[in-house]
Amino acid sequence: MARLKPTFVCQACGAVTSRWAGKCEACGAWNAIVEEAVAAPLPGGASSTAARALGRGRVVVLEGLSGATDEAPRLVAGLGELDRVTGGGFVHGSALLLGGEPGIGKSTLLLQGSAALARAGHRVVYVSGEEAAAQVRLRAQRLGLADAPVALAAETNVEDILATLKDGPPPRLVIIDSIQTLWTSQVEAAPGTVTQVRAAAQAMIRYAKTTGACVILVGHVTKDGQIAGPRVVEHMVDAVLSFEGDSGRDFRILRAQKNRFGPTDEIGVFAMTGDGLEQVTNPSALFLGDREPDAPGAAVLAGLEGSRPILVEIQALVVPSTLGTPRRAVVGWDNARLAMVLAVLEARCGVRLGGHDVHLAVAGGLRIQEPAADLAVAAALVSSLTGAALPVDAVFFGEIGLTGAVRPVSHPGPRLREAARLGFKRGVLPAAAADAAQGTDVSIVAIPTLDVLVARLAARADAAHASRQGA
Ligand code: TYD
Ligand code: MG
């Protein structure tokens, strides 16, 4: 047994130092360093430890790249929105981390997924470290899942869990809710500390790799959205999914942050109801649900999340500022991207916003990452500034360059087809994408440079103003 020596571990980033310090040198976090006794190195299975103790390694078989290449077999949950995000089901022998804020619905999602798989005849073991078995059972009853043959345990000790899994028929899917509650007697540190979380995750991942079961680890996230515990767990697993949404609203978005076996830009949309999570197969209708057609400052973006087009409203509010430095507040989009659009509006189109506060929000709480939102953002900003609403039947997309050019974005066809499906009649988009509307009844307004859009919106505002004066 290696000698136990006191080690100091940063609970934010996992960096190890030999002395305590108030600030972590590696990540800059304050008061995050905690003393943990670490027995180095972690044992890796009985035979290999024995071999290593003797100073000898075990010979491993080297393989070529051109071996049998079966497509990774997958476990399809039958919940379409979940399977879409995993890339078509859980891969056998893989480990997956599901992160999310407390109360967002991680346990509910996994309980529903487990029940669906168990009903399909797969052996599923659900290990709850947070709730007692009775609580989980009660929830299952409320969700109408009590008849699903899920094997349930309330346990937090890794050795006990592994012994239970090895006893009885081998499971196809194991759920650990949550990784922060697990502890292994192999390391001497409190549950929830970096050392424990890392060692427990390592043991569960090794179980997945050696038995071919799929292991899902639930991880809590901290206030700033990081999965609590060491980042190394994120590196150790094959896929990291995050479950998001604000608790004030009903719908939840499942997003892949990392996936060794599938795409990372797909999202799954769910709504939390009294009967658990419901899949939302038509998210555009949901995100456009409470639109006010005549309100200035709102533009509909024909966006794309992964392979799926999603229409969502971008809302801007531009008001004269009383502050020395005007406010720039963004919800659901990128601050730096907004600054760029404002700079281009100012420098290339003569729209002065330096004396105005700007608030920008993506309606419904969706978080948008693609630059295709630029044109919709610019339209919403100008519309709010002039006070004239945008045409109610128009969608916008296009990337804005620093020169003011409106550049094409990927997949204009699917974006416009989704718009047509929801009754939109006009597409305001980059000139280069003008022929994408073929086969739909959407008419195209091609915008080569941003000043063209600004001129059109200004003319529209003047016309609206004149008609109000005339009336
Ligand atoms: P839960 O799955 O326990 O969240 P997590 O595991 O991420 O902490 O979800 C808890 C929340 O979901 C709780 O606030 C109540 C709500 N909820 C419903 O609205 N309907 C339901 O059918 C269930 C099971 C939960
Ligand atoms: Mg939970």
List the binding residues for ATP. 100-107
Q: pTM of the entire structure?
A: 0.78
Torsion 25-26-29-33 (CA) sign: negative
The rounded Å distance from CA 368 to ligand 2 centre is 27
Residue 195 sits at the vertex; the CA angle it makes with 192 and 196, to the nearest 5 degrees, is 45
Q: How far is CA 200 from CA 37, 186, 195, 229, 260, in A?
A: 15, 9, 8, 12, 21
Cα(8) to ligand 1 centroid in Å equals 36
- Output Rg (C-alpha) for the chain, integer angstroms: 27
Q: Do residues 290 and 342 lie in contact, with contact meaning Cβ atoms separated by under 8 Å?
A: no
Could you give the CA distance from residue 326 to residue 315 in angstroms, rounded to a whole number? Answer: 18
Nearest CA residue ID for atom 23, ligand 1: 276
Cα(110) to ligand 2 centroid in Å equals: 9
Which residues on neighbouring strands pair with residue 399, listed in sequence order? 407
Report residues whose beta carbon is within 6 angstroms of any ligand 1 atom: 100, 102-108, 139, 143, 272, 274-276
CB-CB neighbours of 131 under 10 Å:
14
**Among protein residues, the one whose CA lies closest to atom 9 of ligand 1:** 105
CA 130 to centroid of ligand 2, rounded, Å: 7
Give the count of beta carbons closer than 10 Å to the beta carbon of residue 117: 24
Annotated binding-site positions: 100-107
Ligand 1 nearest-atom number relative to CA 178 = 6
Ligand nearest to the CA of 110: 1
- pLDDT single digits (tens) 68-78: 666 668 899 88
- pLDDT tens, the chain, 471 aa long: 455 667 888 887 778 888 888 888 888 888 888 887 655 554 444 445 555 556 678 888 888 888 766 666 889 988 889 999 999 999 999 999 999 888 899 999 999 999 999 999 999 999 999 999 999 999 999 999 999 999 999 999 999 999 999 998 999 999 999 898 999 998 888 877 888 888 999 999 999 999 999 999 999 886 665 655 656 788 899 999 999 886 667 889 898 989 998 888 788 999 998 889 999 888 887 778 678 878 899 999 999 988 889 999 999 999 999 988 999 999 989 999 999 999 999 999 999 999 999 999 998 778 898 999 999 999 999 999 999 999 999 999 999 999 999 999 999 999 999 899 888 999 999 988 888 777 778 899 999 999 999 999 999 899 888 888 776
Spatial distance between the Cα atoms of 386 and 453, rounded to a whole number of angstroms: 13
Task: Find the 246 Cα to ligand 2 centroid distance in Å.
Answer: 16
Mutate to test the pocket of ligand 1, among 98, 137, 177, 272 (most ligand atoms within 8 A of CB): 272
Tokens of 167: 């006893």
Which residues are registered as beta bridge partners of 357?
319
- What residues have CB less than 8 Å from 198, skipping those under 6 apart? 14, 229, 230, 232, 233
Structure token digits, residue 60 = 């491993």
**Cis previous bond, 107, omega within 30:** no
Pick the residue whose CA is nearest to atom 15 on ligand 1.
103
Closest ligand (CA of 112): 1
Q: Cα–Cα distance between 352 and 443 in angstroms, integer?
A: 31
Which ligand has the shortest distance to the CA of 103? Answer: 1
